[in-house]
Structure 1
Amino acid sequence: MLVSLVSNSKPLPPEQPDVVVPWWSFTKTVLAAASLTLVRDGLIGLDDSVSEGPFTLRQLLRHQAGLADYSELAHYHTAVFQDETPWPADDMLQRLDAARLRYEPGTHWHYSNVGYLFVARLIQRITGLTLEQALAQRVFAPLGVTQVRLARTREDLKGVRLGSAPAYDPGWVYHGLLVGPLAQATQLLDQLLGGALLPVSLLREMQTPVHLGGPIPGRPWNTPGYALGLMIGDVDSGLTLRGHTGAGPGSVLAVYRCVEGGNTATCAVFAESDDQGSAEAHALEHLSAALGSRQSIT
């Protein structure tokens, strides 16, 4: 298990900043940040409808657009397991019958990678740039993150720590798969939530969650919620986690920030397993220690 931690309250443990890992669904946090810079610049409104369907940017970012998710397709998992060539995105959408909304936008919550595919397309359409160019211009450069890239092919994953799935094809992540040093995931979330990219009003919107019920078995969440590209909720130690967990074949990345009093700590944990709860618990353990929380996580 690899850990990167930054804190303003306690000495830091040894880091492994140069280990390049897949960011999995932490990519969603970056896509959300990029789309919110478009809102910041007056190019789209959070509650504007988008051309991908009868839903708004806010609903896409919050997984409330009424969309299904391709993880529901049994043959998707079979194709990934058998190392098949990824289907073209439009083929995947047709197989999923993605144009058929599963509920009226804004009335329910359902995690959807398809929603973030539409966010990625929206960013490209509005900026006139490739997704990688847009993310570099609008997120990475302003936050001083210089070593992150989009992986499109198996060749792009050479040198990336992949756990037990070294032959994985990143084309199966339809909204795009970012890869980069573990420490740069920590840096990006710390800078983003610290106010280095978005104005206060938009940062507040980004961190306003829809609440998703009670505790999740096997995971540290007591009151889980989802905001705009962020998982947010209270945990056993009394802290509130803000960040994202991402999982793919053979590994998990959990990147979270906590604030307690005037102190902050941000931690990224990469585990070569499929256990999201364990990675989150390890991140929380490091955050609690850095903030001097009275409770420890076992």
Structure 2
Amino acid sequence: MTANRSIFTHRIPMPASDARQVQGTEFFPYWSFTKTVIAICALRMAQEGRIDLDRMLTGYDFSLRQLLCHTSGLPDYFSLPDYTKAVAANEEPWPAAQVWQAAMAQGRLFAPGKGWSYSNVGYMLARHVIEDAAQQSFSCLVQQMICGPLGLKSVQLAITRHDFDRIHWPGAAEYHPGWVYHGCLTGTAADAAMILHALFMGELLNEAKLCEMRVRYPLGGAIEGRPWTECGYAVGLMSGRCAEVGRVIGHSGAGPFSVNAVYHFPDLPSPITVASFTDGGNEGVAEFAAVQAALRD
């Protein structure tokens, strides 16, 4: 674990210079990296024959795969002014039915499969779909499918304000994780990196399902203030390229007081996975830190 001012990174495998350093014990919110975990659980259930990713969901005209790829046409709740005001005022989270109704009142953005638009409300529904199919909570699925097999001890689903008491950033004291409607996992940087590294090392999904997860929807080129030179989205994964390191696959995340970047770099001489966490609201800071950590000898 290394720290530079308020930036925390963990790399797998560690550079030789870090081999004797003690693993950091700070806990962070994983924010939208939780989407990657939701997608892993869905693909694992499909691998086991418990769910069909491409069947139209009951009562809807889109599939679970389209929710996971942001191609369902659903809007987002982040665009709702009342949502932003309520979070800023430190109110209690709305019931899920209320946020769904408010988001859907904006109207569908496009027909399923005919476009791409990032949708947190889509992942809220995706989580409910896999919970219903498994007859288990998302938290239990994460423990059974990921944390148990990998021996991870720090990862927990935050549900109440009290669950954010252990978070490193002081801003957590002013936030209710219930405002993240698909769920907000928390844990160490090391465990976030381990989840993604294990995924790409074939420890969580078989080869066929991992290949499915990596199928990407291209979105464009460079993003100002961020390291991306090519962007796309796969199944629960941001997927593109950064000039210095080649392909970059993982997920960034942001909340009111911190950001993170958890990425796998498959084109380096040895595949490397990095989890980077920092305070503030600029995802580019965490992403650049992840790229720099991946390049260290």
TM-score by length of 2: 0.93
- 2:229 corresponds in structure 1 to 222
CA distance in 2, matches of 1:92, 1:137: 29
Output aligned runs, 1:193-272, within 5 Å: 193-260=200-267, 263-272=270-279
Aligned CA distance change for structure 1 residues 66 and 84 (closer, same or farther; 3 Å): same
Which secondary structure does the structure 2 equivalent of 1:164 belong to?
Answer: helix
Which secondary structure does the structure 1 equivalent of 2:196 belong to?
Answer: helix
Q: Which runs of 5+ in 1 are unaligned?
A: 291-298
- 1:6 corresponds in structure 2 to 12
CA distance in 1, matches of 2:129, 2:185: 18
Shift of 1:209: 0.8
Amino acid at match of 2:10: S
Corresponding residue pairs, total: 290
Aligned CA distance change for structure 1 residues 262 and 182 (closer, same or farther; 3 Å): same
Q: RMSD of the TM alignment (CA)?
A: 1.7
Please list the CA deviations of residues 59-98 of structure 1 after superposition, one character each: whole Å capped at 9, or x if unmatched: 1111000100000101111100000111000011111226
- 2:164 corresponds in structure 1 to 157
Amino acid at match of 1:88: P
Verify: 1:180 aligned to 2:187, yes or no: yes
Paired residues of 2:245 and 2:291 also in contact (CA < 8 A)? no
CA distance in 2, matches of 1:219, 1:184: 24
Mean alpha-carbon deviation: is it higher for 60-69 or for 252-261?
252-261
Aligned CA distance change for structure 1 residues 15 and 67 (closer, same or farther; 3 Å): farther
CA distance in 2, matches of 1:52, 1:154: 33
CA distance in 2, matches of 1:100, 1:139: 36
- 2:67 corresponds in structure 1 to 60
Aligned CA distance change for structure 1 residues 228 and 286 (closer, same or farther; 3 Å): same
Shift of 1:52: 5.8
CA distance in 2, matches of 1:238, 1:132: 34
CA distance in 1, matches of 2:207, 2:15: 23
Paired residues of 2:245 and 2:295 also in contact (CA < 8 A)? no
Output aligned runs, 1:106-125, within 5 Å: 106-125=113-132
Please list the CA deviations of residues 133-175 of structure 1 after superposition, one character each: whole Å capped at 9, or x if unmatched: 1221122212322221111111111111235353100010001
Amino acid at match of 1:140: C
Amino acid at match of 2:149: P
Paired residues of 1:26 and 1:246 also in contact (CA < 8 A)? yes
